[in-house]
């Protein structure tokens, strides 16, 4: 029988009832001190019919924050808040992994402890503005991380992974995409280092590989995925040879036997025009399960799965507006329209109040 979006599949040790993944979606609705609120348990629980939910990107430390009202995954109170979320999803038979995030230079001193400068591979100020509690303000020039500080970054990912497992998640996804810290190390537009973490593909990928090995050692490779975005220009990102770089990254990640590789296949968030890139070629380099993400609908998702290009498809905005997206796709039912005004911050409006199909 031909495979489609509604066929079951395993990603590592995580068994999915279908191949529709809810993509990580920043919603800025956490409480004080980065604690997830009960409303977030409702939100994720409503969407538990997805084969897998990837949570909103979640800072791994107080220095990893870059936006207001983000949930964290490094304190006991945050773990307790996330336990409500995983319980709500599991009660409905769903699976959920937490996305581990360090924003690097895409932050602002007003969001960081004691007004600290954001950190990055190199002291290069990004074009654009930071979202802060005071509104939009220009980015600042970040501080370049010392080589001696990088084991501490790895340790933060390890601690956050332990917290995620304690909160009941089925696994974790390492965020190495969209212009945040690990992506900043990968791409030569942001990485001008002259130590063992700059220059060659191997050096620029070194921190990602160290983080991956450390997270795998804690969680098991069968519970770990990684997200990359080879040509997304969002957050003022570019690379001189993205195809060769990310083909190398895909090859290097094969050593870990990960649960999946999650690939943003182009540019998102209005960052400008993405460079040309052969995602079919990239997919051939990675030996494990492949999660495709960007502008897929039902027909394109089914085609990507039937052709073998992807094992699962991640959907973003459609899951915001349609908690029962799986049922709607199955029935070829019309979709709710998403309200972009309520994507970031606010209350239940545009978060937990989208209607389900009338049965």
Domains, the chain, ranges and CATH? 9-342 (3.20.20.70)
**Interatomic CA distance for residues 143 and 331, integer angstroms:** 52
Count how many residues are written for the chain.
Answer: 359
Q: What is the pLDDT of residues 244-292, one digit of tens each?
A: 999 999 999 999 999 999 999 998 877 777 889 999 999 999 999 999 9
Phi and psi torsions of 207, nearest 5°: -65, -40
Query: What pLDDT digit, counting tens, does each position of 201-245 carry?
Result: 999 999 999 999 999 999 999 999 999 999 999 999 999 999 999
Reported as a single tens digit per residue, the pLDDT across 134-166 is 999 999 999 999 999 999 999 999 999 999 999
Q: Which of 180, 315, 329, 354 is catalytic?
A: 180
With helix as H, strand as E and coil as C, how does 228-269 read?
ECCCCCCCCCCCCCHHHHHHHHHHHHHHHCCCEEEEECCCCC
Classify the phi-psi angles of 179: left when phi > 0, otherwise alpha if psi is within -120 to 50, otherwise beta.
Answer: left
354 is catalytic: no
pTM higher than 0.95, yes or no?
Answer: yes
Strands (E), the chain: 9-11, 14-16, 20-22, 52-59, 96-101, 119-120, 129-132, 135-138, 143-144, 171-176, 224-228, 260-264, 290-293, 312-315
Is residue 130 pLDDT above 80, yes or no? yes
Owner of token pair 């030996």: 287
Please report which confidence band the pLDDT of residue 4 belongs to, taking 50, 70 and 90 as the band edges. very high
For residue range 291-311, list pLDDT tens digits in order. Answer: 999 999 999 999 999 999 999
Question: Is residue 358 very low, low, confident or very high in pLDDT (cuts 50, 70, 90)?
Answer: confident
DSSP letters, 39-94, are: HHHHHHHHTTTSSEEEEEEEESSTTS--STT---SSSHHHHHHHHHHHHHHHHTT-
């Amino acid at each position: 029988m031909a495979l489609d979006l509604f066929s079951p599949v395993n990603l590592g040790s995580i068994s999915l009832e279908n191949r529709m993944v809810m993509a990580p979606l920043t919603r800025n609705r956490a409480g004080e001190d980065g604690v997830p609120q009960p409303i977030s348990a409702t939100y994720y629980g409503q969407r538990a019919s997805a084969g897998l939910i990837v949570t909103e990107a979640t800072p791994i430390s107080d220095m990893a924050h870059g936006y207001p009202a983000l949930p964290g995954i490094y304190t006991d109170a945050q773990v307790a808040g996330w336990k409500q979320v995983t319980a709500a999803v599991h009660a409905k038979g769903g699976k959920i992994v937490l996305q581990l995030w360090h924003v690097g230079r895409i932050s602002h001193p007003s969001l960081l402890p004691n007004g600290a400068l954001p950190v990055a591979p190199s002291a290069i100020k990004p074009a654009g503005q930071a979202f802060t509690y005071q509104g939009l303000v220009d980015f600042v020039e970040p501080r370049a991380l010392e080589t001696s500080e990088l084991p501490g970054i790895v340790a933060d990912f390890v601690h956050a992974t332990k917290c995620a497992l304690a909160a009941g998640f089925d696994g974790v996804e390492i965020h190495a995409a969209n212009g945040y810290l690990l992506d900043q190390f990968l791409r030569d537009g942001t990485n001008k280092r002259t130590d063992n973490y700059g220059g060659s593909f191997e050096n620029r990928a070194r921190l990602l590989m160290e983080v991956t090995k450390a997270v795998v050692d804690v969680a098991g490779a069968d519970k770990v995925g990684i997200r990359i975005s080879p040509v997304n220009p969002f957050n003022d990102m570019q690379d001189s040879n993205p195809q060769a770089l990310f083909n190398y990254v895909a090859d290097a990640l094969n050593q870990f036997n990960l649960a999946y590789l999650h690939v943003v296949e182009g540019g998102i968030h209005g960052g400008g025009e993405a460079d040309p890139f052969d995602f079919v070629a990239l997919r051939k380099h990675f030996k494990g399960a492949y999660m495709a993400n960007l502008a897929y609908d039902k027909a394109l998702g089914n085609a990507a799965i039937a052709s073998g290009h992807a094992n699962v498809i991640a959907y973003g905005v459609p899951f915001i507006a349609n908690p029962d997206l799986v049922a709607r796709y199955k029935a070829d039912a019309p979709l709710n329209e998403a309200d972009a005004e309520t994507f970031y911050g606010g209350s239940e409006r545009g978060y937990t109040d989208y209607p389900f199909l009338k049965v």
